């Protein structure tokens, strides 16, 4: 099985700053997404990820998934699902929304 690749907030910010092409995916519920999410993120809840992935993600694009925090395991679960579906460039931003906020960064609504 492929290993899940974790990225830090610095790596994510660098990707954003250098305008790298990637899809940022919040895997929490729609309600949680509406309360606030990382800039330019899309919402594909982990509970329905298998059904939604092919409609919103390309197998060859870089996909960064995140959930709430280090204590939340939804992004890791989502990474496993995507890897099993054949997505090869999946990155798990484990710090999630809480890590984003803790670094003084704004959520989008």
For the entire predicted model, the pTM comes to 0.96
* Domains defined along the chain, listed by start: 5-102 (3.40.250.10)
Q: What is the mean pLDDT of residues 16-32?
A: 97
Residue % of the chain over a pLDDT of 70: 99
Which of 40, 48, 8, 35 lies closest to 24, judged by CA? 40
Q: Convert the pLDDT of each residue in 27-61 to its tens digit.
A: 999 999 999 999 999 999 999 999 999 999 999 99
72 with 78: CB under 8 angstroms?
A: no
Distance between CA atoms of 10 and 23, rounded to whole angstroms? 17
């Amino acid at each position: 099985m492929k290993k899940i690749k974790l990225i830090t907030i610095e790596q994510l910010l660098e990707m954003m700053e250098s305008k790298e092409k990637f899809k940022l995916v919040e895997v929490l519920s729609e309600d949680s997404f509406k309360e606030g999410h990382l800039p330019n993120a899309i919402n594909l809840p982990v509970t329905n990820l298998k059904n939604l992935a092919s409609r919103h993600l390309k197998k060859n694009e870089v996909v960064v998934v995140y959930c709430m925090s280090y204590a939340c395991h939804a992004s890791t679960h989502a990474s496993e699902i995507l890897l099993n579906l054949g997505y090869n460039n999946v990155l798990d931003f484990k710090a999630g929304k809480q890590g984003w906020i803790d670094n003084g960064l704004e959520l989008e609504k």
